[in-house]
Amino acid sequence: MVDILENKNCVFFEENKTKFPKLYSDISAPISIAEGCNFSCSYCITTFARGKLKSFPTKEIVQDVKNAVEIGCKEIQLTAQDTSSYRPKKNIDLGVLLKEISNKKGDFRVRVGMMNPYTCLKSIDSIINGYSDDKVYKFVHLPIQSGDNDILKKMNRKYNFNDFLKIVKKFRQNYPDISLSTDVIIGFPTETEEQFQHTIDLIETVRPDITNITKFSARPLTTAKKMKGRIKTEIVKKRSKKISNICTRISKEINKDLIGKEYNILISEQGKNKTFVGRAENYKPVVIKEKMNLGEFVKVKIIDSDVTYLVGSII
């Protein structure tokens, strides 16, 4: 499958990235399942820069996974601008792909990249089913961006906060220990104090394990750059600090509640001060002091925690 692209000066070929030879420097293998995007969020230029979504063939992705595992990779990272948009054929989606990957032999784990709530909701039952294998980390990255529906409309996100809540509820019903990561943009044009409070209320209700906070910046060639009602910098900083403190508190409380739990972690990197870091079944980073080899699986008990990580001891 080769597409010929032309411009005034040259003709060149574009092949699926899955057909290119790959080298992995450690135990993690980032594997692209799609490129481009079908959305036109008002603050983003991805569609303009990378074109419309192109899902790579399932067979080629599965072969990439097989190759990576055979050379010693233990963590497969499925990447795309929106992994839940994956649909190379009418009857194949992200859930089907996860099942195909999970069926491959070997001791490895799969981390699913960011999902847009709009496309995730459309395939939610299949995706939930795809997560059922123990090889798939019980971790979901689901950006909400704002807890206010009017702001979400101005962002052109095509979902509302109730859609987001439905997805989170469904994941947690099926996988109670799942880790949730979300993103929020603070100070989007015209955002009022009340609308900002709606985002805080949503965060307090959902209690994500991780919240990535971004202050709005007007990017060139975006619709949002032309919007009136820009929020003053000092107000954005104040709001950002307020929600950051709330998210830090929530993350700290969640991790503290995990003390005493036992996990089978995959040692994925060497940490500071001669420590090692592993990933639990829900992708939580676990720091251990015992010496280990990268790529090993080891059972640990959580003895301490911090905002961004857990501390474990080998059982």
pLDDT in tens, 229-284: 999 999 999 999 999 999 999 999 999 999 999 999 999 999 999 999 999 999 99
Q: Is the pLDDT confidence value at 135 over 50?
A: yes
**164 and 230 share a domain?**
yes
Task: Please report the pLDDT score of residue 34 as a whole number.
Answer: 96
Q: And the tokens for 142?
A: 């689901």
Q: Which domain holds residue 69?
A: 2-256
Q: What is the mean pLDDT of residues 183-188?
A: 98
Same domain, 44 and 59: yes
- Same structural domain, 247 and 148: yes
The whole-number pLDDT of residue 75 equals 97
User: In this structure, are residues 187 and 241 in contact, taking their beta carbons and an 8 Å threshold?
Assistant: no
pLDDT for 11 beyond 60: no
Look up the pTM and report it.
0.91
C-alpha span between 240 and 256 (Å, rounded) = 24
**Same-domain status, 309 and 249:** no
- Check whether residue 43 and residue 116 sit in a common domain: yes
Task: Please check whether residues 197 and 301 belong to one and the same domain.
Answer: no
Q: How many domains does the chain have?
A: 2
Tokens of 166: 């439905």
Q: What is the pLDDT of residue 17?
A: 57
For the cut 80, the answer to whether the pLDDT of residue 187 exceeds it is: yes
Find, among 31, 107, 98, the residue nearest to 69 by Cα: 107
